Amino acid sequence: MAAAAAATNGGFDAIVVGGGIMGSCAAYAAASSSASRGGGARVLLLERFDLLHHRGSSHGESRGIRATYPQARYPPMVRLAARLWGDAEAEAGYRVLTPTPHLDMGPRADPALRAAIENGGAAEVVGASDDSAASWPWSAVFRLPEGWTAASSELGGVIKATKAVAMFQSLAAKNGAVLRDRTEVIDIAKQVGAWASKLVKSVAGVDLPVQPLHTLICYWKARPGREHELTPESGFPTFASYGDTCIYSTPSMEFPGLIKVCAHGGAPCDPDRRDWCAGGDALADPVARWIDELMPGHVDTAGGPVIRQSCMYSMTPDEDFIIDFVGGEFGKDVVVGAGFSGHGFKMGPAVGRILTEMAMDGEAKTAAEAGVELGYFRIGRFEGNPEGNRAENKEYTVPQTLVEKPFVVPVRNPLLVPVSKPGVPIRD
Ligand SMILES: Cc1cc2nc3c(=O)[nH]c(=O)nc-3n(C[C@H](O)[C@H](O)[C@H](O)COP(=O)(O)OP(=O)(O)OC[C@H]3O[C@@H](n4cnc5c(N)ncnc54)[C@H](O)[C@@H]3O)c2cc1C
């Protein structure tokens, strides 16, 4: 009802397109920022499917948060997000983030792992000597291959994904935003699509190079007697492994007795015509082999994962986000956030705040104060340079995703936050 009234009575000052974690956080940031300035700005969140649907990237039970990134540009954004997660939880009155330690492991000399340890302020818990390998925390669970190390950090945890998206949507509504799913989004989307392709092309001279990947979340059965050991209550960490295959995990929570262990990657897909079976064994088999080698006796891999859930990544060639003004004739009125490359969820509240400040104030003050360097996320980095920031990362190798072909598909799901004055008229 509120949506209809607001729409027919004129228009909106800020429109957020896309109700995943980024759009929901942006809608909340825009609405709460307006409310804290005495209100007045009308904020609209548009979602093409049902709110909390399962066809994008933000649904499901869990996402990990960590500050250990090989790229130094992410830890400041993660720390900003960690603060904003806490603020939002306080306003909502319930928790979506369960803190846990985080563990990174991999070949001791791996440049990406070394950079992640340094950038994230992690403490190496396995040294070069055999003694330390026998006595480190969780040494009863993990058997590290020779030459590997492990590092623990305090900033870790598990975010309840769908619950978190719902929290930000509720908070946005509570602060006065109008949320609309299914209805009329296609009409708006056509406009957005035209803006995106025309304006991005005119500003950056390139299409946004975002490749959707169909990926798989795998839950595996803990061996009898081991269930409790793998829970946050027992202090079990989220973890990432930097071996040949990039493996990540969250502790046993949502399905008691099961632990989520997945390969970071997937098969290129068309988001509107997905083969929901694609990439199943190609993604599950390397995980089973990894579990058998590194967590022997703790997790049962015979018969494969007990639960498989589909999800989608939006990959950029350098796996860095796209956060920028669209520019051109829209100047600083329209911003785009896209290509979160399978690691954006933890930073959702920071990205939402940044996009909102860019769209409403023309600059992201909060990002600057938090030391977040937005230059890395510009659209223009791909101009004449299809690999974007990847060339800058030659000191180390960014963990590779299991992709089968180069990134060439233009973006289909941009998040746009248009702001115009006076309000943007919305047709019903
Ligand atoms: C299996 C898996 C595990 C992950 N693990 C982690 C993790 O541990 N930690 C982490 O930080 N990140 C993780 N990620 C990544 C993270 O989930 C994504 O980066 C994040 O969810 C992206 O959010 P989004 O809002 O950009 O995209 P989406 O959730 O896809 O939202 C975009 C929304 O826009 C809507 N939309 C698109 N076009 C239009 C239109 N024209 N009009 C209206 N609406 C439109 C779509 O329907 C969709 O709802 C993981 C992702 C997956 C798939």
- CA of 23, closest atom in ligand 1: 25
Q: What is the pLDDT of residue 391?
A: 79
Counting as low any pLDDT under 70, the low residues of the chain are 1-10, 39-40, 128-133, 183-207, 277-279, 329-330, 393-428
* Per-residue confidence (pLDDT) for residue 333, from 0 to 100: 78
Pocket-forming residues, ligand 1, beta carbon under 6 Å: 17-23, 46-49, 56-58, 63-64, 185, 189, 192, 215, 217, 311-313, 340, 342-346, 413, 415
**Residues carrying CATH 3.50.50.60, the chain:** 2-60+161-206+317-394+414-425
Which protein residue's CA is at the shortest distance from atom 12 of ligand 1? 343
Point out the ligand 1 atom lying closest to the alpha carbon of residue 248: 8
Among 1.25.60.10, 3.40.50.720, 3.30.9.10, 3.40.50.300, what is the CATH number of 63-158+212-315? 3.30.9.10
CA 275 vs. chain centroid, Å, equals 22
**pLDDT value for 343:** 95
In this prediction, residue 280 carries a pLDDT of 74
pLDDT reported for residue 410: 35
Which residues have C-beta within 8 Å of that of residue 386, sequence separation ≥ 6? 209, 317
Nearest ligand 1 atom, CA 57:
29
Q: Measure 14 CA to ligand 1 centroid, in angstroms.
A: 20
| CATH number for region 2-60+161-206+317-394+414-425 | 3.50.50.60
Residues of CATH 3.30.9.10 domain(s) within the chain? 63-158+212-315
Spacing, Cα 309 to ligand 1 middle (Å): 15
Ligand 1 centre distance from Cα of residue 415 (Å)? 10
Contact 287, 262 (CB under 8 A): yes
Q: What values do phi and psi take at 197, rounded to 5?
A: -70, -40
For 158-172, write each residue's pLDDT tens digit. Answer: 999 999 999 999 999
Q: What is the pLDDT of residues 364-408, one digit of tens each?
A: 999 999 999 999 999 889 888 988 998 776 555 444 455 544 333
pLDDT at residue 40 in the model: 62
The pLDDT value recorded for residue 66 is 98
The structure's pTM equals: 0.90
Quote the pLDDT of residue 402: 53
Structure tokens at 85: 């997660």
Instruction: State how far the alpha carbon of 336 is from the alpha carbons of 187, 193, 219, 286, 416, in Å.
Output: 19, 12, 34, 35, 5
The Å distance, Cα 344 to ligand 1 centre, comes to 8
Q: What is the pLDDT of residue 58?
A: 95
Contact status, residue 423 vs residue 11, Cβ threshold 8 Å: yes
Percent of the chain that is helix, strand, coil (3-state, to 5): 35, 25, 40
Among protein residues, the one whose CA lies closest to atom 15 of ligand 1:
342
Protein residue with least CA distance to atom 31, ligand 1: 20
Q: Is residue 342 within 8 Å of residue 315, measured between CB atoms?
A: yes
Ligand 1 centroid–CA 45 distance in Å is 15
Given a contact cutoff of 8 angstroms between Cβ atoms, the answer to whether 116 and 101 are in contact is no
Percent of the chain scoring above 90 in pLDDT: 59
